[in-house]
Amino acid sequence: MKNYWWKILTVILLYYTLIGGLLINIPDLPNLEETARNLFFHVPMWFGMIILTTVSAFYSVKNLRIGTFKNDLKAVEFARGGLIFGVLGIITGMVWANFTWGEPWSGDPKQNGALIFLLIYSAYFVLRSSLKDEKQRGRIGGVYNIFAFATLIPLLFILPRITESLHPGSGDNPSFAVYDLDNMMRMVFYPAVIGWALLGTWIISVRVRIKLLNYTSEV
Amino acid sequence: MKKIIGLLAILILNTVQAFSQATDAEMQSCFDLRASGKIYVVITVIGIILAGLFLYLISTDRKVRKLEKKIKK
């Protein structure tokens, strides 16, 4: 129970998200209509990605300071998980945009920023695979990971806000104010973010353990 | 552990509150509409898919744990 309570919490939170997300009454927003329910599924992908990449950057810092194999391994796997969440976010975003903004890719600054971030982030794996020495891979990869993570803030939060964007929270749009009117949506949204991020962490932790086993059996 | 139970209790209470709010007339009509729209079928389908994926993940998790124990020996 001590170690797996959060796994139970993941299951509970995601079922809560599913049932609450599809059943609660949502405000009748123009254009969005029922698609506003994507707030519980599409948006947590991005929040999840931010959480997972933050953890990854944390382990990269730890790896640079202490330099153990385990920290580097965690940094890589959390980065991979974050990237997968981001890819899912961009695909679901395109589906959603197709039916609300009229086309899957409208060159919206937040869409572009997210894509640029994903490209920068995937270069982390390219860089790693190009280095053969394990220690070098961990150190150089770690430095790159921290810089790649740092680009997230201007690309996803600052640039879309200072230009016109279709996403909420840009130009003169309020960010969550539209949804904030409805406390019911908030009550599903926050647990949804935690639930999806925990699911990512769960899958990542299994992958980390497999790789650790692989490593210990080789040594 | 006590903190976790406390958190869970808050969550469950919130759900209860959410559904009790749904009793006023406006919400009721919304719920009926959902029923006639067969949204519960969708929830059941996604629920089953989630259950399957969770079971898959749990079994993978257990297999890794067994391997960990085996290698420790």
Task: Please tell me the predicted confidence (pLDDT) of residue B42.
Answer: 84
Instruction: Write out residues 25-84 of A within 8 Å (CB-CB) of B.
Output: 25
Contact by Cβ (8 Å): A21, A192: yes
Q: Which of A191, A206, A213 sits opposite B11 (nearest CB)?
A: A191
Residue pLDDT, tens place only, B9-33: 656 555 555 555 544 444 544 544 4
H/E stretch holding B73 reads: none
**pLDDT by residue (tens digit) across A120-140?**
999 999 999 999 998 899 999
In this prediction, the answer to ipTM > 0.85 reads no
pLDDT for A174 beyond 60: no
Hey, is A29 helix, strand or coil? coil
Chain A nearest-CA distance from B3, in A, is 11
Spatial distance between the Cα atoms of A107 and A176, rounded to a whole number of angstroms:
22
> Going along chain B, which residue ranges are E strands?
none
Residues of A in contact with B67 (CB under 8 A): 213
Alpha-carbon torsion (B50, B52, B58, B64), positive or negative: negative
A18: chain B residues, CB-CB within 8 Å: 43, 46-47, 50
Which tokens belong to A150?
Answer: 């740092």
The residue in chain A having the minimum alpha-carbon distance to the alpha carbon of residue B67 is A213
A160 pLDDT more than 60: yes
Non-local CB neighbours of A97 within 8 Å, separated by 6+ positions: A103, A104, A105, A106, A108, A111, A166
Average pLDDT (A20-37) is 84
pLDDT of residue B29: 47
Residue B1 pLDDT: 58
What does the alpha-carbon distance between residue A36 and residue A65 come to, in Å, rounded to a whole number? 44
Q: State pTM to two decimals.
A: 0.81
